[in-house]
A and B are shown apart, each in its own frame.
Chain A
Amino acid sequence: MQRLGDFKLPHFFNYPPYFTLQPVRETREKQVQLWKELILDYCRSQKIFVISLEEDFPLFSNPVVERSLSHEARQVFLAALVNEGRAEWIDKSHKKCLILWLRIQDWADYILNFVKENGFEDSVMTIEDIRFGIETRGTELAGIDRGVLLRALKLLEQKGKAAIFKGTSADDEGVKFSA
């Protein structure tokens, strides 16, 4: 089975038409669906949060069959993710895309769950700790995008499950969880 890094690629990754934007509506719908799944799976496994259209993205080319997605195709697939709420355009010119392989709400739930399972209620953690600390190693939270984390925490804050406070510098930003 072919791999991209440690990610297992599906067999249709070697199917040349997969890299050509299909004109026929039904075929196109199927193709878009497959690409959306693939992008989300890959980003989740590689902890990728941002796809930039101006840079090469390894998933978008397959040297084995010598094909890569056209710019238009990439736009179409990312736009489809945005429409589904699984991605957001970071800039107005749609050149950078934030991939939400977990939705913000899902992140919020995940954090809450993590806090409960590890007994971190009523304790304080810094943002940096959550992102790169020992406690979160091996979980989805490890290496999480800073912006995404803050938005998830804000959601929790609105529900009264957390309180964000600023530290002396950006590194000291922290959050206190409550039961």
Chain B
Amino acid sequence: MAANWLPPVSLTASGRPVFLPGEVERCLLPAVDLESENPGLAPFHSGLLVLTSHRLLWIDEQSAAGFAAPLAAVVHAYPPKKSIRSMFASPRIRVQVSVSPDGRIAEDGVRSEVITVVMRGKNDPDAFYCRLLEVLRSRQWEAAAVAEHRNTDSGIAEPPMAAAARVRMPVVGVSGILRKEQELWESTDKSLQEAFQDLNALMSKAKDMVQLAEKMRLKLLSSSSASGNADDEEMGSKQEMQDWLLSVGIVSPVTKESAGALYHQQLSRELADFVKLPLERAGGMIALVDVYCLFNRARGTALISPDDLLQACTLWEKFDVPVMLRKFDSGVMVIQSKARRDEEVFARIASLAQKPDALRTGISPSDAALTLGIAPALAKEHLLTAESKGLLCRDVSPDGFRFFINLFTEIDPIDIYMIKNNGPAHVWSSALSLSG
């Protein structure tokens, strides 16, 4: 059982941490233990460590529990030890944090304790340590606090830049505004030029990079199929290569066989959270292409590729999320809320198909779309599925493609002139005779 010497973190329904305003994820490490030097405090075992700009989060995905250590309380971070002994043990990074007298983490605590981050998974301790130092140095949580403070104090928050400029050059009247505009334009132009220079350089190298990456990928493929039991060292370097390839954007087939890179797992959870609201609005089912557009638009930057989206959706089978990916026979893929079962939709289709008008002329996909409140393409999928279940049958004519309630089951081949009383065939027959 985890002790509560760290304050808890609230998680979303899919197990993602709820972030503070302005908080950004910097690094994720799987399979991490957190130990305190105080023997009285029980350690946290094998969770996901998330380094953000504001906090160090530890999440146990199985029990959906999360705990946080605010970076503001960190006094010092020790680099990972390099010794003979440490080469065989899991890498450890020790972080000194300030604590209050009763042993809880506090930013202004009087004492201090050391927390050890034990990396049991295949992680790079040096990279994590560098990232940790960067984050500690930038102290983004302070900028957020100060900005909040200022916003609550005065009505208009004046950026420090403008204030400095005002001191430098007297800004009076219209000419002052014009000068400010000019400066802004010049600086933007300069940074754009620099960016494009980098881009040009990158473009020329891109071809070489892609070739190199392809070579490595093939090598990975061949080595994995060749060797039977790879030893630890080889697996470690292979994992590194896989991660590196993934970051360049090439998904190696070796990765697909394993549980899926960490990136996709997190993306998968984020997607499950995001898609809930649009699903409700769309009546329980959205086409995958629509989700792709919505999700990327919401993200703004760091857009995901269609392939990433598909991978993220397929990973949902592994966790317990209330959404699922569904592929129809025609190849159309949708995201469906697990709550909205097919039976409910079929019941509605059946009742629609037995209305007097529908008995005479059948229903078209657009009729169904109107009634069910979903897109016509999806309505057609539902109708086709209902047909395959024997609920409806199709009528193809110059008028188009329509569906009728299936009466074939009602017809007795022994006496084809008989209509069962009170059956749908009876209703149909009366509806027909009414119309003349």
Task: Tell whether, in the assembled complex, residue B432 and residue A14 are in contact, meaning their CB atoms are under 8 Å apart.
Answer: yes
Report how far A65 CA is from B125 CA in the complex, Å. 77
Report how far A99 CA is from B232 CA in the complex, Å. 77
Task: Tell whether, in the assembled complex, residue B416 and residue A15 are in contact, meaning their CB atoms are under 8 Å apart.
Answer: no
Partner of B417, one of A11, A15, A17: A11
Task: Check B220 for interface membership: any CB of A closer than 8 A.
Answer: no
Task: Tell whether, in the assembled complex, residue A8 and residue B417 are in contact, meaning their CB atoms are under 8 Å apart.
Answer: yes
Which B residue's beta carbon lies closest to that of A68? B397
Residues of A within 8 A of B404 (CB): 15-17
Partner of B397, one of A12, A37, A66: A66
Report how far A16 CA is from B23 CA in the complex, Å. 62
A30 in contact with B409 given A16-B395, A22-B393, A22-B394 (CB within 8 Å): yes
Residues of A within 8 A of B413 (CB): 30, 33-34, 37
**Chain B residues within 8 Å of A, Cβ to Cβ:** 362, 387-388, 390, 393-397, 402, 404, 406-409, 411, 413, 416-417, 419, 425, 428-429, 432
Residues of A within 8 A of B388 (CB): 24
Whole-angstrom distance between the Cβ of B54 and the nearest chain A Cβ: 58
Task: Tell whether, in the assembled complex, residue B407 and residue A24 are in contact, meaning their CB atoms are under 8 Å apart.
Answer: no
Would you list which residues of chain A between 1 and 37 have a CB under 8 Å from chain B?
8, 10-12, 14-17, 19-20, 22-24, 26-27, 30-31, 33-34, 37
Main secondary structure of the interface of B (DSSP, over half): mixed
Task: Tell whether, in the assembled complex, residue B419 and residue A11 are in contact, meaning their CB atoms are under 8 Å apart.
Answer: yes
How many A residues have CB within 8 A of the partner chain? 23
Which A residue's beta carbon lies closest to that of B410? A12
Among B402, B408, B411, B428, chain A packs the most CB atoms within 10 A around the CB of: B408
Whole-angstrom distance between the Cβ of B427 and the nearest chain A Cβ: 12
Main secondary structure of the interface of A (DSSP, over half): helix
Whole-angstrom distance between the Cβ of A37 and the nearest chain B Cβ: 6
Report how far A66 CA is from B396 CA in the complex, Å. 11
Among A14, A15, A23, chain B packs the most CB atoms within 10 A around the CB of: A15
Report how far A170 CA is from B394 CA in the complex, Å. 51
Task: Tell whether, in the assembled complex, residue A67 and residue B394 are in contact, meaning their CB atoms are under 8 Å apart.
Answer: no
Would you list which residues of chain A between 125 and 149 have a CB under 8 Å from chain B?
none
Q: A-B pairs with the 7 shortest C-beta distances?
A: A17-B393, A16-B395, A30-B408, A10-B416, A20-B396, A17-B395, A17-B404
